[in-house]
Amino acid sequence: MQMVRVSMLVVASLGVLAHRAESKGADLAPEAVLAGFEKRVDVMFRAESGKPLVRAKKQKPLGPGRGNYVRAYSHSIMAFAARCLYLGEKLDEANAAIVENAQHYLDNPRDINDRDSFHWHADIVMRLIEMYGTNGTRHRGRITEATEAVALRPIWLYAKMCSWLGKAEVENSQTWDIYGSENHHSMDFTVNWHFSKLAKDRPEYKTLAYDDDATAEEHYRAWNDYFVAYCRERARKGICVEMRSDGYNATLIKGFYNFYDFGDPKVRRSAGMLLDLYFAYWAEEQIDGHMGGGGSRIKGSNAFHQNRNHGNAPLAWFYFGIGQQPTLSGREVNAALSVYRPPAVVAVIALDVEGRGRYEVRQRVQGLGEQGRSDPMVSIASKHPSRLRTDGGGILRYSFCDPAFILGTPMVEARPLSDWVAISSQSRWQGVVFAGEHDARIVPLVRPKDNRVAMNAQWSVQSKGCLITQKLATHRGGAEMNVWMSDKGLSTPVEQDGIVFVEAEGAWAAIRFPVGGFTWKEGSYTYKAETGSTRTTPPGRIMVLQEEYAPVILEVMAKRDLSDFDAFKAIVKRRSPVMDGPLLKCDTIYGDQLTLDTSYMRTPTINGQPVNYAPEKVYDSPFLNADYDSGIVTISKGDRIKKLDFCR
C-alpha cells in the first residue's frame, strides 16, 4: 500500500513541479543576467592585464608520421593576443606573437595538417583579423597589415589542401559525412569557410586555385550553402553525435560564433538558431553548470567530474553567471568576443533549476553508419569520411531530471560494434549527477582495458529514477563493469540485504546486482594497463562486479518524496528483481516494470512496451521540442517561447 502511495506521489509531483516550472521563471530577470555578459568577459580579460606572454610548451608528435603537438602552444598565443587586442595594450607584442605562431607552422608544415593542432586555433586568428585587422570591425589597425599577411599564409596552405567542393556537397550526404570526428569536422569547415570569405577579396589569394582547381569565391559559396544545410539537419535529426560530451561539444560550436558574427544574413540566421538550440540542449540537463544525461566520448577522468575551467563551463559563466570566473586559455575567445547571446527563455531554463521541476527528456541521436578512415599522414585531408545513416533508430537518449539530481543514459540497441561510427560508440557515459557544490556522482561504466577508451561497452534501459545497465558482449576494449561513486557530496555507503544505499544532499540512491556480487576499492585508485598507460580516478569508492556481464540496477529518489532514509530503504527492499532465465524483470520504486534480456536477444521493455529507438520527436521535453525531420524547434518555459524555423 505504501508503494502505491509513493508511486501516486511521484506521478502527482510530475504535474505539480511542471506547473512550478511554468510559474517561477519570470522571477529570475533573465535579461539582466544576460546583460552582465560584457562585464563578466571584461573582468576575465582585465584579470590578465599587464601579464607577459607565457608560451605553453611545444610537444612532440602524438604518433609516427604526425606533426608536432602544438595545440596548447597556439592557444596560449591566441589568449595573449586576444587579451592585448581587446584591452589595447602591448600591441607590438601581440602582433609579434601572432607572427611567431604563424611562422612556427610555416617552418613546420606537417603541423598544419595534424588533426590535433592547427585547426584548433586558426578560426581565432581569422576572428582577430576581422575585429582588429586592417579592415577591423572593432578596433581597426591594432593588427598590422604585415601581421595579417603572415598570419594568413599557413591558413591558405591548410585550406588549399583540406577544402574541396566535394567535401561541401549536401545533396547526397545531407551533411552527415563526417571527416575525422564531429568536432574536428566542424573546426575544419569553419576554417575553410572563413578563409574563403577573406581570400575571395584579397588580391594575393582571390585568383589562386585550391588543390581541387576551384577558387576562393567558389569555395565561399559552397561552404555558405553547406553550413545552412548543416544547421537545418541538426535541427531535424539531432545536434550532437558526440552526445553531451562537455569538451567536445564546446569545441564543436566554437567556430559557429564566426558564422554568426561575420556571415551573410542567411548564414548568420542559421548560426544563431543553431547556437540557441545548442544552449537549450545544454541548459535543460545541467545543474549548476554540471552536465547530466547520457553521453559519448567522455574519456578518462572526465567521466567522474567536470572541468570547471574548460568546455562549457566558461560559456555558462559568460552567459548565465553560473560557476566561476574562468582563466583565459584561448579556447573561449570566439565566444567571449562574439555579439551572440542566448535568448531569455534559455537563460530561464539554465538558471531556474528548482522551477524546472521534475521531467523527462527524450532525444533521438544519430550514431549508426559506416566508419571512415583518417590516415595520420594526411589527417583532416582524408577523403574517407564516416557516413552516418539517418534512416533508422539506434539511440534514445533519456534523462530523468529533478532539482535534486539528473539520471540519464543513452539507450542503445545491442548491435555489433561495426554498426556504429566510433564517435558514437566510444566511451559512452551514463549515471546520476546530484545537485550541490561537490558535483557528486554515481557512474556505472565498463572500464577501458587500455585506460583510454572502450567501444560499444554497455547497453541499458531506464524509466524515471531507475536505470538498469549491462556490459555488452560486442564491446571492444572493455574490462570489468564498475560502479564509481564520488567521495565528496555522498555519505558513506551502507550495505543492507545485498543492496548498497547512499545519501546525497537532496536525494537517496540504491545500487544492487541481481546476479553475483562485488568488491570495494576505495580512495583515488590508479589502474595500470599492459601498455603501461595509467588511469587514476578522483577520490571515491568503486564497486567492482565479480561477474563480467552481470546487470546493475541504480535507483534514485528525491528526499522530498519520502519522510526519511529508512523509508527509502524499506521501499527499495520490497521491490526484488527477478531473473526469468536470461530476462531480468524489475519493479521499480516509481511503480514501473522494466525488463532487460541479459542474452541481448530481446529489446528492453518499459511497462510492457519495447524501447522505441526511433521516436517521432527528435527533441522531447517540457522545454525543447521538435518532430523528427521537421526542422522546426520550439524552446519554451512558461509564457516564454522561442520558435526556430530552420527550413525558412
pLDDT computed for residue 67 by the predictor:
94
Tens of pLDDT along 252-288? 999 999 999 999 999 999 999 999 999 999 999 999 9
**pLDDT surpasses 60 at 12:** no
Q: Give the torsion through C-alpha atoms of 379, 381, 383, 385, to 10 deg.
A: 60
Q: Which secondary-structure segment (H or E) carries 630?
A: none
Residue 131 backbone dihedrals phi, psi, to 5 degrees: -90, -35
Q: Are 538 and 304 in contact (CB under 8 A)?
A: yes
Task: Give CA separation, 42 vs 86, 138, 468, 640, in Å.
Answer: 9, 15, 46, 29
Average pLDDT over residues 287-307: 92
pTM exceeds 0.85, yes or no: yes
Chain-centre distance for alpha carbon 212: 33
Q: What is the pLDDT of residues 573-587, one digit of tens each?
A: 999 999 999 999 999
Rounded alpha-carbon distances, angstroms, from residue 557 to 5, 182, 291, 586, 620: 14, 35, 19, 16, 22
Q: What share of the chain is helix, strand, coil (3-state, %, to 5)?
A: 35, 25, 40
Q: Quick one: average pLDDT of 384-410?
A: 95
Mean pLDDT of 380-401: 90
Can you give the pLDDT at residue 350?
A: 97
Helix (H) or strand (E) segment spanning residue 265: helix 265-283
- Report how far residue 569's alpha carbon sits from residue 574's, in angstroms, rounded to the nearest whole number: 9
* Predicted local confidence at residue 2, as pLDDT: 43
Task: Give the pLDDT of residue 374.
Answer: 66
pLDDT of residue 375: 63
- Cα distance between residue 302 and residue 524, in whole Å: 14
Provide the 10 A C-beta neighbour count for residue 167.
22
The Cα 467–Cα 399 span in angstroms is 10
pLDDT value of position 376: 54
Q: Where is pLDDT greater, at 6 or 329? A: 329
User: Over the chain, what is the mean pLDDT?
Assistant: 93
Contacts of 222 (CB under 8 A, 6+ apart): 165, 168, 169
- Angstrom distance (rounded) from CA 436 to CA 12: 25
Q: Which amino acid would we find at residue 307?
A: N
Q: Is pLDDT at 13 greater than 70 in this prediction?
A: no
Quote the CA–CA distance of 156 and 152 in Å, as a whole number.
6
| Distance from C-alpha of 211 to C-alpha of 242, rounded to nearest angstrom | 31
Burial class (CB in 10 A: 0-12, 13-18, 19+), 487: middle
pLDDT value at residue 20: 39
Q: What is the per-residue pLDDT for 65?
A: 87
Please state the φ and ψ torsions of residue 433, each to the nearest 5 degrees.
-115, 125
What is the average pLDDT across 415-430? 97
Q: Given a cut of 50, is residue 61 above it in pLDDT?
A: yes
What is the per-residue pLDDT across 153-196, written as a single tens digit (0 to 9) for each?
999 999 999 999 999 999 999 999 999 899 999 999 999 999 99
- Give the whole-angstrom CA distance, residue 642 versus residue 224: 25
Can you state the angle between helices 182-199 and 122-132, rounded to 10 degrees? 40
Asked if the model's pLDDT at residue 486 lies above 80, the reply is yes
Average pLDDT over residues 297-301: 91
What's the farthest any 2 CA atoms get from each other in the chain? 81
Residue 377 pLDDT grade (very low, low, confident, very high; cuts 50, 70, 90) = low
Share of the chain above pLDDT 70, in %: 95
Q: How far is it, in rounded angstroms, from Cα 358 to Cα 403?
A: 7
Instruction: State how far the Cα of 640 lies from the Cα of 29, in Å rounded to an integer.
Output: 12
CA 424/CA 296 separation, integer angstroms = 6
Alpha-carbon torsion (334, 336, 339, 345), positive or negative: positive
Question: Hey, what's the cell of 393?
Answer: 533508430
Q: Round to whole Å and give the CA distance between 331 and 344.
A: 25
* SS3 call for 100: helix
What would the grid cell of residue 581 be? 532465465
Of 380, 458, 419, which Cα lies nearest the Cα of 188?
380
Other C-beta atoms lying within 10 Å of the C-beta of residue 557: 26
pLDDT at 532: 77
What do you get for the CA distance between the two ends of the chain, in Å? 54
Is the pLDDT at 239 greater than 90? The verdict is yes
**Cα 641 to the center of its chain, rounded Å:** 24
**pLDDT at res. 383:** 84
* Exposure class string for 19-51: b at 16+ Cβ within 10 A, else e: ebbbebbeebebeebbeebeebbeebbeebeee
Mean pLDDT throughout 66-82? 97
- Which residues are within 8 A (CB) of 11 and not within 5 positions of it... i.e. 6 or more apart? 591
Residue 379: band (very low, low, confident or very high) from pLDDT cuts 50, 70, 90: low
Q: Residue 23: which pLDDT band, with cuts at 50, 70 and 90? A: very low
